Amino acid sequence: MAASRRPPENRNPVVLRSSTLALAEELSSMLPDEFARTVLAGSLGVAWDSANPIRANLFAAGIREAVTYVLHLLALEEAVKACDWYDAYREKQKKDCEKKKIEFKDQPARVHRMVYATQGGISDKALQELGVDIGDAHKRLRSVVDGLSKYNHVRPGNVYGSGARGYDAVP
């Protein structure tokens, strides 16, 4: 009879500080529905499992999906497509697709949903006239999502585990 395999013993249990739990609860309370809260809870559960060597990757994937889900709720496809600022993108995309001889798909990308979530249908020009610089908010939000995407894929050299500097790539 083959010996049964036991999961590795968790030698480095994660001790959660009350501030971490409070932050998780605060974030959860801001989410729009039970599905988003479930994705957050699952992502945090994975992140806190120090025995899981790909916990950072799985956490990033879960949080990225939660962000994408919330963006889809905040920026419905038809609402994004109705914006003047999206028309400029649409025309540029059409020309690029014609040049490359590929099919144009009129679908807002995540970045367009981010723009809509932060400025709605207000044009960039109108925001400038009001003295509102939304560009920094767009860059920060995109940077967060791009950062999550970096950790999302599990490949050799792209598995992140605890290291001296936080999360380092594991070969």
**pTM value?**
0.75
Does a structural domain hold residue 59? yes
Q: How confident is the model at residue 161, as a pLDDT?
A: 58
Contact 153, 57 (CB under 8 A): yes
Contact 69, 36 (CB under 8 A): yes
Span 68-83, average pLDDT:
95
Span 155-169, average pLDDT:
60
Owning domain of residue 136: 76-153
**What is the average pLDDT value for the chain, to the nearest integer?**
83
| 25 and 60 share one domain | yes
- Residue 29, pLDDT above cutoff 90: yes
Does a structural domain hold residue 50? yes
Residues whose CB is less than 8 angstroms from the CB of residue 119 and which lie 6 or more positions away in sequence, other chains included = 85, 127, 134
Q: How confident is the model at residue 62, as a pLDDT?
A: 94
Does a structural domain hold residue 133? yes
Q: Name the residue among 86, 51, 46 with its Cα closest to residue 63.
A: 46
* Domain boundary, last residue among 74, 98, 117: 74
Number of domains in the chain: 2
Q: How confident is the model at residue 6, as a pLDDT?
A: 45
